Amino acid sequence: MSGARASLERTLAYLKKTFWENLRDWKVLILALVFGPFFVFMMYGYFVAAAPAYTLLVANEDAVAAAGGSRVPAAAAGLLASWRSAQHPDGKPIFNVVPVDDAEAARAKIESRDADLLVRIPEGFSQRLAAFRDRRSGEPAQLTYLADGKNARAAMAMALSDYTAFAYAANLTQAPLPLSVAVQSVGAAQPLDDFEIWVPALLVLALIMVLFTAATALVREVDQGTMARLMLSRLRTGELLAAVSVNQVLVGVVALALTYLSARACGFHGAGSLAVLLVVGAVTTLSVVALSVLTAAFLKSMFELLTVGVFPFFILMFFSECMFPLPKIEVAAIAGHQLYANDVLPTSLCVRAFNKILNCGGGLADVGFEIVAIAALTAVYFALGTWLFRRRHLRV
């Protein structure tokens, strides 16, 4: 038997062994597989399914007093009252109405998403409604909305505000379509809701879970003493790690696919190719396996893995921007691609690649830089992890 063939056979033998162990350690495996989907449903429930009060900033320029005459209603004040009294079926208020004077400050709140919608009630709004009611004019009164098109809450706030405003004006004027609405957008034009914006990060979260399954495969051998048996066999470190990696990449890709399908079931429409997504996911999973080898080098028992081991997990989770955006610390630029401090974590690059694929329809060429960078980091972490793992667990 040639050396390469013998090596392949030993690797396959270990692959089979680690596969069955992985399957039978069902609690950890199930946790790894459903962690991503669980977060998808949780975020979906949080952002979409809940009934929040939308923050409505109202710049009221309607000067009723100046209009004079008893037949002109204080329409803006009435509209404000309508918004304030609007309720969800469960009795909770739909809007948190906040009158504003400073338009620039209000705009900043929209951009920062501290508020969902800015409504400008123009001067002469009441007079125009009165004229419409009295058939003196066929031109409806106009409201102007300023919103962030990428903010799902803004879309909901606009729809509900429209409904309330039109109902109020129709009742006031006893005429159909007494209002018109102009919409202005802040930020980029592509409209994405919050849930969609979070999906790429949630997909990466599914991959990060592989840190546990991969580290489990290694630490378990140390914990139960079977590493000594492996050391006495002809199995080499590289063969062992190759088998673990192949198995864990499989777990990562399945977890990614399940998470993606869960997101689709919740209404997410990714723009890019699923195949490219899976390619990036597979490379990233390999990098997570490399990090798990590094982690396992420091752990001697499963208890340690479940306690100390959560530390690198949370590092990956928080600093990859899976949970919330981080300030960008520019480190270097390579071939026109900006690298940030947290790009030392391959999952950070993966989040960026997934955003390009899913939100912008990016293809393999568009994420080529990220794939190469993740692969380079994987090589570095594997080299370091293997060296440390050998030193700490395989040295006699």
d(CA 172, CA 176): 10
For the bound state, the minimum distance from the C-beta of residue 211 to another protein, rounded and expressed in Å, comes to: 20
- Which of 33, 57 has the CB closer to another protein? 33
> How does 195-206 read in b/e, with b if 16+ C-beta sit within 10 Å?
bbbbbbbbbbbb
Q: Rounded to whole angstroms, what are the CA distances from 378 to 240, 294, 330, 383?
A: 17, 11, 21, 8
For the bound state, the minimum distance from the C-beta of residue 294 to another protein, rounded and expressed in Å, comes to: 20
Number of residues near another protein (by CB under 8 A)? 27
Nearest to 25 by CA among 216, 306, 251: 216
9 binds another protein, rule: CB under 8 A: yes
Give the x-and-dash track for 207-246 against another protein (CB under 8 A): -----------------xxx-xxxxxxxxxx---------
Q: What is the dihedral of CA 231, 237, 242, 247, to 10 degrees?
A: 40
- Which of 6, 167 has the CB closer to another protein? 6
Provide the sign of the torsion angle of the four alpha carbons 170, 139, 119, 71, taken in this order.
Answer: negative
Nearest to 288 by CA among 353, 345, 354: 345
25 binds another protein, rule: CB under 8 A: yes
396 binds another protein, rule: CB under 8 A: yes
For the bound state, the minimum distance from the C-beta of residue 393 to another protein, rounded and expressed in Å, comes to: 11
H-helix or E-strand containing 57? Answer: strand 54-60
Nearest to 263 by CA among 20, 11, 43, 33: 43
Nearest to 257 by CA among 199, 215, 203: 203
- Which of 25, 366 has the CB closer to another protein? 25
6 binds another protein, rule: CB under 8 A: yes
- Which of 190, 233 has the CB closer to another protein? 233
4 binds another protein, rule: CB under 8 A: no
For the bound state, the minimum distance from the C-beta of residue 24 to another protein, rounded and expressed in Å, comes to: 4
- Are 219 and 299 spatial neighbours (Cβ–Cβ below 8 Å)? yes
- Which of 68, 225 has the CB closer to another protein? 225
272: phi then psi, degrees, rounded to nearest 5: -95, -170
For the bound state, the minimum distance from the C-beta of residue 300 to another protein, rounded and expressed in Å, comes to: 15
189 binds another protein, rule: CB under 8 A: no
Nearest to 173 by CA among 87, 83, 71: 71
For the bound state, the minimum distance from the C-beta of residue 20 to another protein, rounded and expressed in Å, comes to: 6
- Which of 30, 331 has the CB closer to another protein? 30
Give the x-and-dash track for 356-385 against another protein (CB under 8 A): ------------------------------
303 binds another protein, rule: CB under 8 A: no
For the bound state, the minimum distance from the C-beta of residue 38 to another protein, rounded and expressed in Å, comes to: 25
The two structure tokens encoding residue 392: 């700490």
Q: Which residues bind another protein (CB under 8 A)?
A: 1, 6, 9-10, 13-14, 16-17, 20-21, 24-25, 224-226, 228-237, 394, 396
